[in-house]
Structures are given as structure tokens and as C-alpha cells.
């Protein structure tokens, strides 16, 4: 986690109304040079100040578009660290990307460290070489990963994926990725950092996940287990090596929640994010990205009822919005499903970065190293190229 300097005392004494007023005034003052982005999971008192809301990839693309169209020179990203990094990678070099609180990280992204990944890569290749395995390992990383992990994937012929295009990227990689698979060549994926998205995507692709995936635990070395807590045999057999990472919010949803709900409210439909464990996804009615969840609920008929397996700020907002249309929305797992790191972005920090900007000072700038940027852009570019093509699945 990065260090965040303490805010001056004055920001802690302002009440909610004063904070909102002062942020609004600063936005008006800085409007031509500024874009504020708010992730779907952001708290209400922050999201009300966002020019755009969306998921991490949509927001990064919007940041790049707006900076090009309007010449805006500053993006304030009300999200978490990896999202600000992605915005910095995608926007022109003269645009400053600011994360209002540097401690707003993502527990899932933090679970895949670059040194651990390099180590796993070496061990996996050593095991495969010793077994005379003929093929290639292609690394795929979820958008929710550090720039360094995206760069690792770019450098090793892999790609980034989002929760909405993971199936597409998976299919591309299994077909050989950047170099079409030769007839006898074997392909294996290393999927980082979310084991659940990786497992759910592998299952949807038709892989028997019990037999042909294995889990690489980066902490296993500490326990003296030298094959990531798995075995040489499992590494050789696996079609997908899953990284042992997860989202601390989506992992809270359980199959028991679904069973309890079905018993008491059988007509309520269940829609969940693919970062949820496989048994939750399997037992749900629908699965998809935050954008898909929103679009599905917004398109549902009056009188319908939904239980949603994703972060509570998004669920509460869509519940309020849809109540007016006669659609009942509730969380699948209760109110504890909150992204606590994103919650660190509060109106105090937003106002503090805007006050500094008004005085010509850029604080909390997120700047990705140029070499890392170059390779990460390759991994992102492969995904963008794929999603621009008409779908075949």
C-alpha cells in the first residue's frame, strides 16, 4: 500500500454540505481542464461529483477520449490504484492522473506481485521442460491487476481481459494468441490474479475445471512448498493454471445465500458478478460484469425482483433507481459486501486534490514507468483488437 500524507486539519472540520459545495465550486472553476471519473462501487457522496461513472475499463477509455476531445489535462480517478494506472497508460502523456487517496488499493490486484509472478513463470517452465512438454504458456491478466502484471503479460505474448470479454480473450489465447497454434502444439494459460473469474471462464469455455485447472498459491514457498502449493503432475496436466487471488468483496457471496433466498423468495432472480466463486455463479440465474448487471436490471419488467451479487454501493444505487419503476432490487449477501479500499476515497480527499489543482499543484499523481507502460499497452492493445472484431462465440 502506498503512503498517503495526512490532510490538513481544515478538511476534517467541514460538514457534508460544505464539502459538497466547495467541490462543486472547484469543479466549475477547473472545468475546462478537469475530468472526474467515479467507479460504480464508489460511495454516493463522491459519485455525485463524477463527470462519468462506469467500470474500470470503460472509465479508462473515457478518460482517454475526453482528454483527446476536450484537451483536459487532469483526470481525477475516484476508484482504486490499478484503475488510475490504467488511465495513465491509456491517456496521452501530457495528462496527469490523480488518485485522491493513495491508500485506495485493490486487495485482489495486490495478491499478484510481479516478483512472485516471475518466480511462478520460471518454476512452471522448468517443470514443463523437465516433462518434455511441447507447447506454450500464455499469461492472461484480469484488468484488476497492477500495471507491472499487465506489462508481464504484454512482454510474454499475453493479454488483459475484463469481466465482459474474458471469454473472448480466453478463446484467443487457447487458439495460440499472437501466433496461431500449430496442429500438435499444446497451449496452457496462466490466469492472473482472480482465480474465480479464471475458473468461471474456463468452465464456460468447456474445460473440466476439477481435472484441468490447478491453483498456484504465491504464498506456498513460505510454507516450503516449491510448486505453488500444487504438484508437478497437476501443472503438466492443467490447461489453465489459476493464480490464488480473489476479490474480498465478491468472495463473500456463498451458495448458502442462494439456497436461503430460493427457499423464501423463489421468484426473485439472482444475478452475480463472475468474480464470485463458481458454486455461486453456477446456482445464479445470470452472471456478468457490472455493466451487464446494470443493463439487465434496467431492462427488466415492472414487478420483477432481483438479488444482486456485487458491491453494495452499486446495488443500493440501482435499488433506489429501480424502485421508481416498480422493480425490487436487493443484495444477495447483505450489507457487509463493501469495497473498503474504494471507500477510502472520500469528499475530503477529492476536495484536497482539487484545492491543490486550483493553486497549480498536482498531488497524488499516478505515473506508470514508461517501459512498463509500453508492455502493458501491448497486453491492453491485444484485448482492444479482439473486442473490436465481430464476435464468434
Interacting residues toward ligand SF4 by CB under 6 A: 41, 80, 106-108, 144, 247-249, 311, 339, 341-342
Nearer residue to ligand SF4 within complex by CB, 235 or 252: 252
Closer to ligand SF4 by CB, 108 or 235: give it: 108
The residue (of 248 and 296) whose beta carbon lies closer to ligand SF4 is: 248
The nearest distance, CB 311 to ligand SF4, in angstroms, is: 5
Nearer to ligand SF4, 76 or 339 (CB): 339
Tell the burial category of 301 from Cβ atoms under 10 Å away from its Cβ (0-12, 13-18, 19+). Answer: exposed
DSSP letter at 79 equals S
What is the Cα–Cα distance from 59 to 351, expressed in whole angstroms?
20
Distances in Å between the Cα of 333 and the Cα atoms of 188, 197, 238, 264, 293 are 35, 19, 32, 14, 16
Helix boundaries (H) for the chain: 9-13, 16-30, 44-47, 56-70, 81-90, 107-110, 114-130, 147-155, 166-174, 195-205, 209-212, 232-237, 255-264, 278-283, 290-298, 312-323, 347-358, 370-388
Least distance (Å) from ligand SF4 to the CB of residue 310? Answer: 8
Beta-carbon contacts of 139 under 8 Å, excluding residues fewer than 6 positions away, are 117, 121, 152, 153, 156, 157, 158, 189, 190, 191, 192
d(C-alpha 236, C-alpha 188), whole Å: 9
Closer to ligand SF4 by Cβ: residue 140 or 238: 140
Nearest to 194 by CA among 244, 249, 255, 235: 244
In the complex, what is the shortest distance from the CB of residue 79 to ligand SF4, in angstroms, rounded to a whole number? 7
Minimum distance from residue 345 beta carbon to ligand SF4 (Å): 11
Q: How far is the CB of 287 from ligand SF4 (least distance, A)?
A: 16
CB nearer ligand SF4, residue 98 or residue 314: 314
Shortest Å, Cβ 273 to ligand SF4: 9
Cα distance between residue 286 and residue 119, in whole Å? 37
Tell me how far CA of residue 98 lies from CA of 43, 223, 317, 361, in angstroms.
Answer: 18, 39, 25, 11
For the bound state, the minimum distance from the C-beta of residue 286 to ligand SF4, rounded and expressed in Å, comes to 19
All three cell numbers of 337, joined, read: 459486501
CA–CA separation, 393 and 391 (whole Å): 6
As measured in angstroms, the least distance from the Cβ of 106 to ligand SF4 is: 3
Task: Return the SS3 of 226.
Answer: coil
Closest CB to ligand SF4 among 40 and 156? 40
Q: Between 90 and 249, whose beta carbon lies closer to ligand SF4?
A: 249
Q: How far is the CB of 267 from ligand SF4 (least distance, A)?
A: 28
Our CB check for ligand SF4 shows the closer of 202 and 276 to be 276
Which triple of cell numbers denotes residue 225?
A: 512448498
With a CB cutoff of 8 Å and minimum separation 6, the contacts of 106 are 80, 81, 82, 144, 341
Amino acid at each position: 500500500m502506498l503512503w498517503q500524507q495526512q490532510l490538513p486539519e481544515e478538511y476534517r472540520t467541514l460538514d457534508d454540505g460544505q464539502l459538497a459545495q466547495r467541490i462543486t465550486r472547484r469543479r466549475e472553476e477547473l472545468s475546462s481542464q478537469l475530468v472526474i471519473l467515479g467507479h460504480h462501487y464508489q460511495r454516493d457522496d463522491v459519485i455525485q461529483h463524477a463527470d462519468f461513472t462506469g467500470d474500470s475499463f470503460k472509465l479508462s477509455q473515457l478518460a482517454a477520449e475526453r482528454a483527446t476531445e476536450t484537451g483536459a489535462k487532469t483526470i481525477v480517478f475516484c476508484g482504486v490504484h490499478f484503475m488510475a494506472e490504467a488511465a495513465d497508460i491509456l491517456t496521452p502523456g501530457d495528462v496527469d492522473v490523480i488518485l485522491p487517496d493513495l491508500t485506495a488499493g485493490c486487495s485482489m490486484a495486490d495478491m499478484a506481485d510481479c516478483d512472485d509472478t516471475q518466480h511462478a513463470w520460471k518454476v512452471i517452465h522448468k517443470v514443463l521442460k523437465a516433462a518434455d512438454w511441447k507447447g506454450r504458456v500464455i499469461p492472461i491478466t484480469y484488468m484488476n491487476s497492477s500495471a507491472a502484471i499487465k506489462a508481464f503479460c504484454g512482454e510474454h505474448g499475453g493479454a488483459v481481459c475484463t469481466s465482459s470479454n474474458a471469454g473472448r480473450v480466453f478463446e484467443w489465447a487457447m487458439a495460440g494468441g499472437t501466433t496461431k497454434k500449430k496442429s500438435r502444439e499444446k497451449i496452457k494459460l496462466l490466469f492472473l490474479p482472480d482465480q474465480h473469474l479464471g475458473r468461471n471462464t474456463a468452465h464456460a469455455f468447456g474445460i473440466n475445471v476439477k481435472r484441468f485447472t490447478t491453483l498456484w498459491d504465491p504464498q506456498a514457498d513460505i510454507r516450503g512448498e516449491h510448486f505453488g502449493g500444487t504438484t508437478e503432475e497437476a501443472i503438466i496436466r492443467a490447461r489453465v493454471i489459476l493464480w490464488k487471488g480473489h476479490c474480498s468483496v465478491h468472495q463473500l457471496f456463498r451458495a448458502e445465500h442462494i439456497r436461503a433466498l430460493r427457499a423464501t423468495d423463489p421468484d426473485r432472480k439472482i444475478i452475480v458478478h463472475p468474480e464470485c466463486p463458481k458454486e455461486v455463479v453456477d446456482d445464479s440465474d445470470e452472471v456478468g460484469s457490472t455493466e451487464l448487471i446494470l443493463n439487465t436490471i434496467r431492462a427488466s419488467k415492472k414487478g420483477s425482483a432481483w438479488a444482486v451479487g456485487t458491491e453494495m454501493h452499486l446495488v443500493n444505487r440501482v435499488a433506489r433507481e429501480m424502485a421508481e419503476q416498480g422493480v425490487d432490487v436487493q443484495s444477495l449477501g447483505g450489507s457487509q459486501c463493501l469495497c473498503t479500499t474504494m471507500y477510502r476515497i472520500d469528499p475530503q480527499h477529492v476536495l484536497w486534490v482539487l484545492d491543490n489543482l486550483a493553486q497549480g499543484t498536482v498531488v497524488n499523481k499516478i505515473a506508470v514507468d514508461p517501459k512498463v507502460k509500453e508492455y502493458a499497452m501491448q497486453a491492453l492493445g491485444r484485448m482492444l483488437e479482439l473486442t473490436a472484431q465481430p464476435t464468434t462465440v
